[in-house]
């Protein structure tokens, strides 16, 4: 555990964890907090940022791959701007253009609005001439669950699938039934477990929490492209990753799980400050370079690695 990770854990435990112990969500407060972020990475040298109503592009003239990035934030706050440390870092390390989608948020737009927006964005990329085999869908936390749900929805609809999926600490089970919700209570520096049912209810409305486009853990995984999942060992959402990997491998899908010790939820957002974040993004970039250029998809199940 680096001192940078220790500092990050201390910071989120002091600032964010108390918020998740409150009996009710404060949507306005959460949105205001993320909009006031004092630090945002600059546009990397040689890259061009274009913003629009539906999201933002980070492009490089030499890039031949494309990432559709879906930010986290419990489906009710955050934005492409708040997650630039991840999307920019991933773009540079994968040498890929990134479109970060500004999907509709709850409670104004409940399930399945976010899924509909992500599916539409992917189809728009393909309609613009971007090859599916050169495309990756990625996301973190709720956005990681949304990325997996988008893959399941595209598979069900018969769309050409992207080359792979990259999921950072994904929230894949909105029933909040994973054992780590209990075993990591008190160990997770960012959350109390009680907040997750509140967030899920706000997003779902009257929808069934086991719907595979809301909780992709409950969907079928056969036919999905290779997946890379990264998570921390103290996260409440840890089992949302481990169970996906087990189920994907059982369905014949290549699924790699990389675990880090003693890091906060979506620690990749602490790049470039935290060495663990830099390493995680480098590994994700390597995975993208492999699957997006491979002539054929390899569905062998690699061994879980713990960093």
Indicate which residues carry an active-site annotation. 141, 235, 265
Looking only at the bridges linking them, the beta strands covering 48-52 and 305-306 are unpaired
> Cβ(97)–Cβ(138) under 8 Å?
no
> Cβ(288)–Cβ(164) under 8 Å?
yes
Please give the structure tokens belonging to residue 209. Answer: 């929490």
**C-alpha distance from residue 119 to each of 55, 115, 159 (Å):** 14, 6, 10
Looking at the DSSP assignment, which residues form a beta bridge with residue 306? 259
> Cβ(67)–Cβ(136) under 8 Å?
yes
Alpha carbons 226 and 256: distance in angstroms, whole number: 8
Q: Which of 65, 119, 74 is nearest to 93 (CA)?
A: 65
Q: Which residue has the tokens 């990432």?
A: 67
Please give the structure tokens belonging to residue 8. Answer: 């990050």
Looking only at the bridges linking them, the beta strands covering 55-59 and 96-101 are antiparallel
**210: three-class secondary structure by DSSP:** coil
Name the DSSP class of 129. T
Q: Which residue has the tokens 């959460």?
A: 30
Show the CA angle centred on residue 266, arms to residues 59 and 195, nearest 5°: 130
């Amino acid at each position: 555990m680096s001192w940078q990770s220790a500092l990050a854990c201390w910071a989120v435990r002091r600032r964010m964890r108390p918020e998740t112990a409150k009996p009710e969500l404060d949507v306005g407060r959460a949105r205001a907090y993320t909009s006031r972020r004092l630090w945002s990475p600059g546009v990397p040298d040689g890259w061009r940022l274009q913003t629009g109503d539906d999201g933002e592009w980070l492009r490089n003239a030499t890039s031949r791959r494309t990432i559709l990035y879906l930010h986290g934030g419990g489906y009710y706050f955050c934005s492409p701007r708040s997650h630039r440390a991840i999307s920019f870092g991933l773009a540079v390390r994968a040498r890929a253009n990134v479109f970060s989608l500004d999907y509709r948020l709850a409670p104004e737009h409940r399930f399945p609005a976010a899924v509909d927006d992500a599916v539409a964005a992917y189809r728009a990329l393909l309609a613009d001439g971007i090859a599916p085999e050169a495309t990756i869908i990625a996301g973190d936390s709720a956005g990681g669950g949304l990325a997996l749900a988008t893959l399941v929805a595209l598979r069900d609809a018969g769309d050409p699938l992207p080359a792979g999926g990259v999921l950072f600490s994904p929230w894949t089970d909105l029933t909040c039934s994973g054992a780590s919700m209990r075993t990591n209570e008190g160990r997770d520096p960012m959350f109390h477990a009680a907040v997750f049912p509140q967030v899920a209810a706000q997003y779902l409305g009257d929808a069934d929490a086991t719907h595979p486009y809301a909780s992709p853990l409950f969907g079928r995984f056969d036919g999905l492209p290779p997946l890379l999942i990264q998570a921390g060992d103290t996260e409440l959402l840890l089992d949302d990753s481990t169970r996906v990997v087990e189920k994907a491998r059982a369905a014949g899908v290549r699924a790699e799980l990389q675990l880090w010790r003693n890091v906060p939820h979506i620690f990749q957002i602490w790049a470039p400050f935290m060495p663990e974040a830099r390493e995680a993004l480098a590994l994700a970039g390597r995975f993208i370079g492999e699957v997006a250029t491979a002539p054929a998809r390899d569905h062998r199940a690699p061994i879980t690695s713990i960093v």
